Amino acid sequence: MSTQDKVIAIIAEQAVLDPSDVTLDSTLEDLGIDSLGLVESIFAIEEEFDITIPFNANEPEQSDFDISNVAAIVTGIDKLIAEKG
């Protein structure tokens, strides 16, 4: 499973949607994910990929990790994995 597929599966689970309903352009808000869902999604992503997402990821002006849409999240995860490896 690619990073993208794993992220979509995690986000779809949090949003109680089918993964086919989650696109790369989807924002978490579009998918109905609130702040608690965001935290749960981040924990699930960190566990799945064995990475640490910056605590201020929800403040784009203060973080390198962009959560504006699914594609940005995938890009951020790939970057963290590369930095770790």
What is the band of 85 on the pLDDT scale with cuts at 50, 70, 90? Answer: confident
Question: Could you tell me which residues come within 8 angstroms of residue 46 by beta carbon, excluding any fewer than 6 positions away?
Answer: 52, 53
Each residue's pLDDT tens digit, 17-61? 999 999 999 999 999 999 899 999 999 999 999 999 987 666 656
Burial (CB count within 10 angstroms: exposed 0-12, middle 13-18, buried 19+), residue 8 = buried
- 5 an active-site residue? no
What class is the 3-84 domain? mainly alpha
Amino acid in the structure at residue 3: T
- Annotated catalytic residue within 5, 21, 30, 34: 34
pLDDT value of residue 52: 93
Confidence of residue 12 (pLDDT cuts 50, 70, 90): very high
